[in-house]
């Protein structure tokens, strides 16, 4: 975001302009400053991977719902009500605003994910992993947090990703079209993007949960589909695989691809 003018720019969206942030959303501005400190401390590769992973984890948590414990859902709900007021989804909804609602917590988790020391604990022995999950619990507002069996995105990251190098972007800036430059001028929003936007708008109007929007957005693909990820049949199976510690069999992949 632009901290000087307090505009959320966010990931690419379906043609919507940047979003002005009022004083009630100061936490998003503060998160941007923490994000910049994270970048200076750990470098662009680690910061890129960590913030996107933070969004991935927040997306799973928001999509799954609060369960039996309080957590950041209340904050996401409050921010979403400011950014996308109930009843105004048809005109105010955007995926970028959903990312804004989860941004402070994503950056909070990224502080652990980017740190080599914390990553070693996450991939370490049971005592070290307990230290890591305790720190995660503090960031989530749940002291004593423990991964939930075989269906926990944080446990998945600890087991499969924490000991590997940061994931890289699928494309870099020179490979993408620069907005407002070139012989064709500004890029237009494709019909496929608009249809995806309409589906996301309807889903959010019905459930007021943004996790599904985050998980299905191309912005997090580098950490949803990593270089070492097992190939899956379809986005539903891919999202499911990013939150389980059990490798699926062929039948599971087929069933999830058609669900």
pLDDT at 193: 77
Beta-bridge mates of residue 8:
19
- Does the pTM surpass 0.75? The reply is yes
pLDDT in tens, the chain (259 residues): 888 899 998 887 777 788 999 999 999 999 999 999 999 999 999 999 999 999 999 999 999 876 666 778 889 999 999 999 999 998 899 999 999 999 999 999 999 999 999 999 999 999 999 999 999 999 988 888 888 777 899 999 999 999 999 999 887 765 555 444 444 444 566 777 788 888 888 888 888 889 999 999 999 999 999 999 988 989 999 999 999 988 655 444 333 333 3
Tokens for 24? 């009630």
pLDDT at 196: 81
């Amino acid at each position: 975001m632009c901290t000087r003018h307090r505009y959320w720019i966010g990931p690419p969206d379906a043609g919507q302009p940047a979003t002005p942030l009022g004083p009630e959303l100061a936490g998003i501005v503060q998160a941007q400053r923490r994000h910049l400190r994270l970048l200076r401390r750990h470098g662009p590769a680690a910061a890129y991977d960590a913030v996107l992973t933070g969004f991935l984890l927040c997306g799973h948590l928001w999509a799954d719902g609060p369960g039996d414990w309080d957590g950041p859902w209340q904050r996401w709900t409050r921010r979403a009500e400011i950014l996308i007021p109930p009843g105004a989804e048809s005109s105010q909804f955007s995926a970028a605003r959903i990312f804004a609602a989860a941004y402070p917590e994503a950056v909070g988790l990224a502080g652990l994910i980017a740190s080599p020391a914390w990553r070693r604990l996450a991939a370490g022995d049971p005592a070290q992993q307990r230290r890591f999950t305790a720190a995660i619990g503090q960031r989530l507002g749940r002291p004593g947090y423990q991964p939930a069996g075989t269906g926990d995105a944080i446990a998945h990251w600890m087991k499969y990703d924490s000991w590997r190098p940061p994931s890289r972007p699928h494309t870099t800036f020179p490979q993408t079209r620069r907005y407002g430059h070139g012989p064709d001028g500004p890029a237009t929003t494709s019909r496929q993007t608009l249809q995806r936007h309409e589906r996301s708008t309807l889903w959010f109007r019905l459930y007021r949960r943004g996790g599904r929007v985050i998980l299905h957005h191309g912005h997090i693909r580098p950490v949803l589909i990593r270089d070492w990820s097992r190939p899956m049949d379809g986005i539903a199976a891919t999202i499911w695989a990013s939150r389980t510690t059990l490798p699926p069999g062929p039948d599971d992949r087929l069933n999830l691809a058609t669900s």
